[in-house]
Chains A and B, each alone.
Chain A
Amino acid sequence: MPTVLVVDDDIDMQNFVSTIAKAVGCETDVVASGQEAIDALTAKMTDIAFVDLNMPGMNGWDTVKAIRALPGGDGCKIIVLSGQNTMHDREDAHEAGCDRFVDKPVTPEKIIEVIQAFS
């Protein structure tokens, strides 16, 4: 199963996504900011990254761009998870380099479907 990093400043969302990822057998880590994501992925690139858009400091779009620029970052499947879901938000996220945009609120089934799609 793929390795997963969850990037979200909301601890409830971190727990939600990581619990589901672990339940389907993924090795999973969580961080609370874009900067922490860069640090973690520089140390060890994961197969999948779930990235929130609305984070303090480095926002989700910049985090996606930064992940893509890391060595091995182009192989990471990036899923943006966000409650900001206008067409502009989606387009910006895809332009930044995300592979999939998933709206919040999100269901466990959706998280599992996305992980399986990229496994």
Chain B
Amino acid sequence: MSFDLEDALGKLRQEFLEGSVDRLDQIDDCLNRIFQDEGSRGENFFQMQRDIHSLKGTAGTYGFTTVSTIAHRLEDYMEASRRLDQPGLQDVQKFIDIIRRVLETGIEPNEAERDAILAELPSVTKQGKTAAEISDQSVKEIIVLMVMDKGLQRKMIGTELVSCGFSVSFSESPVEAIGLALRVKPQVILSNLEFDEMSGIELANVFKEIKATEEIPFVLMTSRKGKIPNLPSHIYVCHKSGDFAEELTETLIDLGLFGELNAKAGTG
């Protein structure tokens, strides 16, 4: 790449940083209007979602992958919430404030800083409280990465997991899920079996090959009845049937991510 291009991109990066202040102000304005019940709630939400989505793509393009990840988590938060009430809106404000703080430094955080920042992010809980607000109950945030197409099924499973106290991050494709898992560091991955790009089993095998993800339990969700041929032993399976909720719950308990074991894990 020529020196001139590097120079031009450096200037554009600076312009992006300056422009992002306006974009964040715009999101703040939308949030304030929703808080104060001014104008159309739907239109304000739509505008806010557009700005957040745009920030996710542009920040990553300019090298701010942490901001891109926070924006992705914010989209997940908004999708997993049944309806954003006042505490939920305050959480959205926290996400925006954290994005603003990172961009104000003008520097992409290193890995340790990024982990600390991501740990600060609010998560949806049963009562609509953040994990921090109920820390007296020693609840440890457990992040579930769901790899599924958008749709009612994903929304239902995601919402149920959130109502049980998990934080949920969504990915629509296996390829995207690989990068996302490295950034959000989930404690468990739930994935569909069927995708066009690669199967859920192939995805599990990719995660097994990556040092940072090899220990993350992988749960395959499938509507296929009976045993799946050539299923590697490190993959858990939950069948999408009438007993799906029970099967998933049992699997999460077995993994120590739910129930009494979860409470023990959270006391550290």
Residues of A bordering B, CB below 8 Å: 9-13, 15-16, 19-20, 23, 54, 56, 82-83, 85-88, 104-109, 112
Residue of A nearest to B65 (CB): A105
The one of B53, B58, B196 that contacts A13, using a Cβ cutoff of 8 Å: B58
Contact between chains at A11 and B19 (CB < 8 Å): yes
- Pick from B8, B56, B58: contact of A12, CB under 8 Å: B58
Chain A residues near B172 (CB, 8 Å)? 85-86
Let me know if A19 and B5 touch, CB within 8 A: yes
A23 touches B8 (CB 8 A): yes
B173 at the interface (CB under 8 A from A): yes
The reply to whether B149 and A88 form a contact with Cβ atoms under 8 Å apart is yes
**B225-257 at interface with A (beta carbon < 8 Å):** none
User: Count of chain B residues with Cβ under 8 Å from any Cβ of A?
Assistant: 30
B53 CB contact (under 8 Å) in A11, A15, A83, A87: A83
B53: A residues at CB distance < 8 A: 54, 83
Closest CB in chain B relative to A100 CB, distance in Å: 16
* CB-nearest residue of chain B to A104: B57
Cβ distance A117 to chain B, nearest Cβ, rounded Å: 17
Interfacial residues, chain B to chain A (CB-CB below 8 A): 1-2, 4-5, 8-9, 12, 15-16, 19, 50, 53-54, 56-62, 65, 68, 149-150, 172-173, 176, 195-197
18 contacts between A and B (CB under 8 A): A10-B54, A11-B19, A12-B19, A12-B58, A16-B9, A16-B12, A16-B58, A82-B57, A83-B57, A86-B173, A87-B196, A87-B197, A104-B60, A105-B60, A105-B61, A106-B61, A107-B61, A108-B1
Contacts of B62 in A (CB 8 A): 12, 16
A19–B8 contact, CB under 8 A? yes
Q: Which residues from chain A contact B60 at a C-beta distance below 8 Å?
A: 104-105
**Bound Cα distance from A46 to B149, whole angstroms:** 35
Q: Bound state CA distance, A15 and B8, in angstroms?
A: 10
- Chain B residues with CB under 8 Å of A54's CB are 50, 53-54
What's the dominant secondary structure at chain B's contact region? helix
A-side contacts of B9, CB under 8 Å: 16, 19-20, 108
By beta carbon, the residue of chain A nearest B8 is: A19
Which residue of B is nearest A86, CB measured? Answer: B172
Given contacts A12-B58, A13-B58, A13-B61, A23 and B176 within 8 Å (CB-CB): no
Give chain A residues whose Cβ lies under 8 Å from the Cβ of B5: 19-20, 23, 108
* Complex contacts, B12 vs chain A, CB 8 Å: 12, 15-16, 19
Closest residue on chain A to residue B64 by CB atoms: A105
A88 to B62 alpha-carbon distance, docked (Å): 27
B65 — which chain A residues lie within 8 A by C-beta?
105
A19 to B10, CA, bound (A): 11
